[in-house]
Chains A and B, each alone.
Chain A
Amino acid sequence: MAAVTRLSLLVLLLVGALVAPAFAQDGERIRGQLTAEGEGVPDVTITVSLDGEPVGTGVSDAEGEWFVDLPGPATYEVTIDVDTLPEGVQLRNPDRTTLEIRVGEGATATALFALGEREEVGPILLQRIAQNTVNGLKFGLIIGMTAIGLSLIFGTTGLINFAHGDMVSMGAFIAFFFNAVLGLHLILSALIAVIVGAVIAGAIDRGIWHPLRRRRVGLISMLVVSIGLAFVIRHVILFYFGGSRRPYRDYTLQTGIELGPIRLQPVEMWVMGLSVVILIAVALMLTRTKLGKGMRAVADNRDLAESSGINVERVVLSVWILGGGLATIGGIFLGMIESVDYLMGFRLLLLMFAGVILGGLGTAYGAMLGSLLVGLVSELSTVWFSSQVKYVWALAVLIIILLVRPQGLLGQKERIG
Chain B
Amino acid sequence: MGTVIFFDALRTAIGPTAAAYALLAVGLNMHFGYTGLLNFGQVGFMLVGAYGVAITVATFGGPLWLGVLVGIAGAVVLALILGIPTLRLRADYLAITTIAAAEILRFITRTSGSEPVTGGVFGLRQFAGGFYALNPIPPGSYLGPLSISHGRLWTMIVGWGLVAVFTLLLWALMRSPWGRIIRSIREDEDAARSLGKNVFYYKMQSLVLGGVIGAVGGAVFAVSLQTVQPDTFLPQVTFFAFAILILGGTATWIGPIIGALIFWFVIAGMQSALRRLSDAGQLPEFFGSQAVGATTLTFVGLLLMLLMIFRPQGMFGNKREMQLDVK
Direct A–B contact in complex, judged by CB atoms less than 8 Å apart:
yes
Binding site for B on A (CB under 8 A): 4, 7, 11, 14-15, 18, 21, 24-25, 104-107, 112, 114, 160, 162, 208, 212, 216-221, 223-225, 227-236, 238-239, 242-243, 346, 350, 353-354, 357, 386, 388-389, 391-392, 395-396, 398-399, 402-403, 406, 416-417
27 sample A-B contacts, Cβ–Cβ < 8 Å, listed by A number: A24-B286, A24-B291, A104-B290, A107-B288, A160-B95, A162-B40, A162-B95, A208-B305, A216-B326, A219-B91, A220-B91, A223-B95, A225-B304, A227-B239, A228-B302, A229-B301, A229-B305, A230-B301, A231-B236, A234-B301, A235-B295, A350-B99, A388-B111, A388-B112, A398-B96, A402-B97, A417-B89
Q: Is the CB of B135 closer than 8 A to any CB of chain A?
A: no
Q: How far is A25 from B236 in the complex, measured between Cα atoms in Å?
A: 22
Residues of A within 8 A of B92 (CB): 160, 219, 223
Residue of A nearest to B36 (CB): A220
**B84 near A243 (CB under 8 angstroms)?**
no
Shortest C-beta distance, A198 to chain B (Å), equals: 22
Bitwise, B202-213 to A at CB < 8 A (1) or not (0) is: 000000000000
Would you call B290 and A231 a contact (CB within 8 A)?
A: no
Closest to A402 in B: B85
In chain B, what residue has the closest Cβ to A390?
B107
CA distance A224 to B108 in the complex (A): 27
B100-A388 in contact (CB<8A): no
What is the interface of chain B mostly: helix, strand, loop, or mixed?
A: helix
Within 8 Å by CB of A105, from B100, B101, B121, B289, lies: B289
CB distance from A414 to the nearest CB of B (A): 13
Shortest B157–chain A CB gap in Å is: 33
For the complex, what is the distance from the CA of A388 to the CA of B110, rounded to whole Å?
9
Tell whether B259 is near chain A: CB-to-CB under 8 Å: no
Interface membership of B325, Cβ < 8 A? yes
In the bound complex, residues from chain B placing their C-beta under 8 Å from that of A25 are: 286, 288, 290-291
Which residues on A sit within 8 Å (CB–CB) of B294?
A: 235-236, 238-239
- Nearest A residue to B99, CB-CB: A350
Verify B103–A235 contact, CB threshold 8 A: no
The answer, among A220, A232, A350, A357, for a CB contact under 8 Å with B305, is A232
The docked-state distance in angstroms from the alpha carbon of A216 to that of B325 is 10
Q: Is B254 an interface residue (CB 8 A)?
A: no
Chain A CB within 8 A of B214 CB: no
In the complex, B175 has a CB within 8 A of chain A: no
B235 within 8 Å of A by Cβ?
yes
Across the interface, A227 reaches (CB within 8 A) one of B100, B242, B327, namely B242
Q: Which residues of A contact B293 (CB under 8 A)?
A: 238
Question: Could you say which residues of chain B place their CB within 8 Å of the CB of A216?
Answer: 326
> Which of B103, B289, B303 lies in contact with A107, CB distance below 8 A?
B289
In the assembly, what is the distance between CA of A192 and CA of B300, in Å?
Answer: 30
Are A227 and B40 in contact, with the CB atoms below 8 A? yes
- B141 interface residue (CB < 8 Å to A): no
Q: Besides A227-B304, A399-B81, 5 other CB < 8 A contacts?
A: A7-B309, A15-B302, A223-B95, A235-B301, A386-B111
Interchain nearest-CB distance for B94 vs A (Å): 10
Task: List, in ascending order, chain B residues with CB within 8 A of A417's CB.
Answer: 88-90
B131 interface residue, CB < 8 Å from A?
no
In the assembled complex, which residues on chain B have CB atoms less than 8 Å from the CB atom of A217?
309
A225 to B246, CA, bound (A): 12
On whether A392 and B113 interact (CB within 8 A), knowing A235-B298, A236-B298, A417-B90, the answer reads no
Q: Which residues of B contact A228 (CB under 8 A)?
A: 239, 301-306, 308
Chain A residues contacting B326 (CB-CB under 8 Å) are 216, 218
Q: How far is the CA of A86 from the CA of B35 in the complex (A)?
A: 58
Kindly provide the distance from the CB of A353 to the nearest chain B CB, expressed in whole angstroms.
5
Residue in contact with A232 in the complex, picked from B96, B235, B302, B309, CB distance below 8 Å: B302
Task: Given A219-B92, A346-B235, A402-B97, decide whether A396 and B104 contact each other with a Cβ distance below 8 A.
Answer: yes
Complex Cα spacing A221 to B242, Å: 11
Q: How far is the CB of A236 from chain B (nearest CB, A)?
A: 6
